[in-house]
Chain A
Amino acid sequence: MASPRSTAVANQSQVVKWVLRLLVVGYLLMLVAWPTAYVVKHTFADGFTGIQDALADPDVVHALKLTAQIAVTAVIINTVFGVGMSLLLVRHTFIGKRALSVLIDLPLSVSPVVVGLALVLVYNGRFGWFGPFLEDHGLQIIFAKPGMIMATCFVILPLVIREVVPVLEELGDDQEQAARSLGASGRQTFLRITLPSIKWAVVYGVVLSLARALGEFGAVKVVAGNVGGETQVATVLVQQKYQNFQQETAYSVAFMLVFAAVLCLIVVALLRPKESQR
């Protein structure tokens, strides 16, 4: 039996609960939901004509293709590197391990614009450290795809590693040792034991990096030439179109970027429950 006093306390905690909920929902609404909904509303103000018009513009199509190319390439590189790096960090001890671990977080704290500038300083064809040498051998980095991929790689560097490392740590190396004692080579152990165990962490890392790579603006803008139809990615195009009073196109492309990111998250959410049911 609840005394009047404890009922009062319960009522009070109910009120607090509702206030907190309202606060959180309101915060998310103002910050995320409303602005995004606004983009969607503007995109479909005239039905699908906005998107059709945007897709009729060759610059838009090229920018979207370029963004996809760069994002996919960077994510593939980052996944291979990230998984390897995670294994190195968790399974091996070496001098400078902690320094390396801190360094990996650097892209989270450094502004992407700075990253872009740094790449330009090192790789530009006229006075960079490696730039002239590489350009003499027919490889242009700055104002071309390689530079844009490098900038994106830098920005998404920690995303796979930070997903995989905790899972590897929790996993321990018992199973790997068991596999070795049963005759598996290092490669077989990785493919049959380690990889299936960290599969979901890798998928999450990939989706996060993909979403981040699609939306990257600062670093890519600095290293890319931003010539429409050549070296202009979708995010930069959105900015340019918006400033050129082509809001309709800007909204449509922005919507497509949001849509791609949401699609990534939905795919993971759909894949995930199957795993826990098994």
Chain B
Amino acid sequence: MSIEIKGVNKKFGDFVALEDVNVSLPTGQLTALLGPSGGGKSTLLRIIAGLDAADSGTITIEGTNATTLPPQKRNVGFVFQHYAVFKHMTVAKNVAFGLEIRKRPKDEVAARVDELLKLVHLSQFAHRLPSQLSGGQRQRMALARALAVEPTVLLLDEPFGALDAKVRKELRDWLRRLHDEVHVTTVFVTHDQEEAMEVADEIVVINNGRVEQVGTPDQLYDEPANDFVMGFLGEITTLNGVMLRPHDIHLSLTPELAGAAEGTISRLLRVGFEVRATVLTDDGEEVTIVLTRTHARQLDLETGVRVWVTPAAGALTMPSLAAAAG
């Protein structure tokens, strides 16, 4: 195990940011810390990096107890949400910073900077200032800068949070490919479940300062430990007192299946290729159903139409009592 976090607690005044957090993050993998804003995931990352100190508990990085080490002695690479570029230095100088601090020979630094700029596709911008780069380019530069010192672990704090949707998606794919090339143990923080599931080997779901579940994206999606994880990883709706995903509901215009709930479509919303239908059942439940545009057109759906809804075969369901209690 590359990073061992044991019994970590952190408070900011009265606010409990982390409560008895225990996690092991495996070597060489890409792990996502996923959770809602203010849930404590960034705090945990900053504690791993040494930028914040835990009130109690220990952090072990590759077998070394790092709990009391200052950040510059931990050999971690950190990438910030807002890039934290050194504004007065050129792109090449930014990347070279960590190496120059370590007093490496000049030609070695130059060679390594060249190599890294190639890796992040910024070779032609080596002599520009960061202010002349776009957001995505700045973040790639920040990544190269963090990788330059050959960190034991690479920590990314909402690395794509400040970028627009398209660039975000590109960088996400790129990060995954980069990790497959470089294989450095990587931990990144995100509140975007799609990003976490697409990129990470393993996801740690954190909410209210506590770890809710740890597992691969598939495990989390298929076997959520509780209703919070289920709700956070994707949309949910309730039908006949169970929680399930809106796309796991079968909808028909005739009572085909036994136990189907009858209702009326109260609202139809089209978003691109999908259609979200809200069905008000005769039992008084409001069920959300997601179908493809094509499917909706085949059924000729309109508001006010009578429909029968039932969980599709193989759908993941969870008793919604938990939701009521939680």
Contact = CB atoms under 8 A, between A and B. Distances in A.
B101 A178 contact: no
Interface in A169-218: 174-175, 177-185, 188, 192-193, 196-197
Nearest to A278: B129
Contacts of A178: 78, 80, 84, 86, 142, 145
A187 to B, nearest CB: 11
Nearest to A188: B101
B88 A182 contact: no
Contacts of A177: 51, 71, 78, 80, 84
Nearest to A171: B87
Nearest to B79: A178
B76 interface: yes
Contacts of B149: 182-183
Contacts of A184: 72, 97, 101
A197 B78 contact: no
A93 to B, nearest CB: 12
B6 interface: no
B82 interface: yes
Contacts of B76: 181
Contacts of B187: none
B98 interface: yes
A278 B97 CA distance: 20
B84 A183 contact: no
A181 B82 contact: no
Contacts of B102: 183
Contacts of B88: 196-197
B78 A175 contact: no
Interface in A33-52: none
A278 B83 CA distance: 21
Contact residues of B: prevailing secondary structure: loop
Interface string A145-185: 00000000000000000000000000000110111111111
Nearest to A182: B98
A174 B83 CA distance: 8
B260 to A, nearest CB: 56
B98 A175 contact: no
B53 to A, nearest CB: 13
Interface residues of A, number: 17
Interface string A91-117: 000000000000000000000000000
A184 B73 CA distance: 9
Nearest to A181: B78
Q: Which of B101, B102, B129, B148 has the most CB of A within 10 A?
A: B101
Contacts of A183: 72, 75, 98, 101-102, 149
A192 B72 CA distance: 15
B85 interface: yes
A175 B84 contact: yes
B70 interface: yes
Contacts of A174: 80, 82-84
Contacts of A175: 84-87
Given A177-B51, A177-B78, A278-B129, A182 B84 contact: no
Centre residue among B87, B97, B129 by max chain A CB count within 10 A: B97
Highest count of chain B CB atoms <10 Å: which of A174, A178, A196, A278: A178
B49 interface: yes
B224 interface: no
A183 B72 CA distance: 4
A34 B214 CA distance: 78
Contacts of A182: 72, 77, 97-98, 101, 145-146, 148-149
A184 B148 CA distance: 14
B176 to A, nearest CB: 23
Interface in B3-34: none
Contacts of B129: 278
Interface of B: 49-51, 70-72, 74-78, 80, 82-88, 97-98, 101-102, 129, 142, 145-146, 148-149
8 contacts: A177-B71, A178-B86, A180-B71, A181-B49, A181-B50, A181-B51, A182-B97, A184-B97
Given A178-B80, A182-B97, A278-B129, 4 more contacts: A177-B78, A177-B84, A181-B51, A196-B88
